[in-house]
Structure 1
Amino acid sequence: MMYNDLLKDIEKLIGLQLHSIRPGAELTIEAIEREKCSLLLRNAQGNLRKRSLDEIRNLWSELQKKRIVHVDGFLHGSGSSRNQPETILANLPYIEWLKYNGKKHLAYVEKSTHEFGTLREMNPVEQIGFCELLSKIQSNLHRFSYAVVTNDIKQCIDDFNKDSSYNLTVLEQGAYALSMPNNEVLFLSADKYKLPRGVYPVLHDQTVSANIVAFKLNNILYYAEKKGEINVLLAGD
């Protein structure tokens, strides 16, 4: 299904009150401005705002590739009211929602299972397959080239994405993986992981002499160590 077909379906939602997965966050699509690449939305309080269609395009691309997406994590703080693009997509008949590890996800089910302008929570039996799919996606071990430890993860990721839109994975609160063409970058909250800010090369297949575990991600232990004047992370068992 092409992106233009998706926009035609979203146009069918114009003027409808769209219920949100999160109660109280209903919205109405007032207009789609294709030439301006924007949506005109009215929230539950009656306020109007514009939102970029690029969010919908990128989410749709991710859904077609992986069939399931955690919207909050994928948009990684791209403006406020991140539930708005989530709400629009969830009100399409071939997209359902489910919770995985306590987080809302959208799933592209590739067939119509509910009416335009309505929501459908995936039934527990169908959820099993999608949860297994998501588990496989998240269990693929990331082999990071380096880690960026910062107090402002959103700003750092936005700086990386100024000219390109790389795939982002939420590993856990305060830890994000950004997949680039030739490597993967790990972004870490300095406050959560109690590490000095900076860029850390990540060394793999090394003998780990450090005895202080910095953190654990995807069942891999990471040790902080200083080599000369450079802070590094060692990936070990």
Structure 2
Amino acid sequence: MKQIINLLILLSVFSLTLSGCGSTAKQQAVTNTTQQVQKVVKDTPHQVGQKGTMSTSVNGFFFDKSFEKADIVAEVTIQEWLGEIDSEDILETTIFRVSLEKIFKNNVDKNLKEVNLFQTGNSKRTVENSPLFKNGDRLLLYLKKTELEGYKNTYYILGEQTGIFRIVNTDKQDYVIKQVGDCPQLSDAKVTGNTDRIKNTLTKSYSVEFSNLDKIGMPETYNLATVEKLINEQKDK
């Protein structure tokens, strides 16, 4: 009789143990799901202003002067849309979290891996023919440090839209498309011949509300490797 009772006790303990393991597994699954929800990354809601365009007056991009003035020169990737500013005191602005992929100059903090980036324009108004960035966009930028309450490590783009270089990959080759205006100092890197295929790669990546993508300013296309070489030469001057 004692043996039967002992056996029943052992079975009860074993059953409780299994139940506990199942409960722990379920709790872990819930925890993992919660963490995944918390890690949801926001993307740009609108790349084109829903209420129209805006005009800006900026100091244009100059290859030599912009390198000297910049705190950071780097190839970056847009990782997350953080929010936007719509205030009477501050120009319409969108803030992104970006990762520094390849750094050519860094006068701020050699350990920086990510920064917050300002781009002129927001979901209400954007600069004409200059769509907002979106997650995954690759860019070559000349950045200057600035300050804004609520954000750390914040930077703006020197030259604004004239200083935006979009990186695209076509046929396993990286190219740089200057969004606005040309850059004579990069003439050695300029792609000659028909560049329609390269530009089409970029326009296909846009998820924008443009009625005519041909209106987006993309006057110059460069070979990225050659541009990198020319930038590195700047460091030796």
TM-score, normalised to structure 2, is: 0.24
Greater RCO, 1 or 2 (C-alpha within 8 Å, sep 6+): 2
| Larger-Rg structure | 2
TM-score (norm 1): 0.24
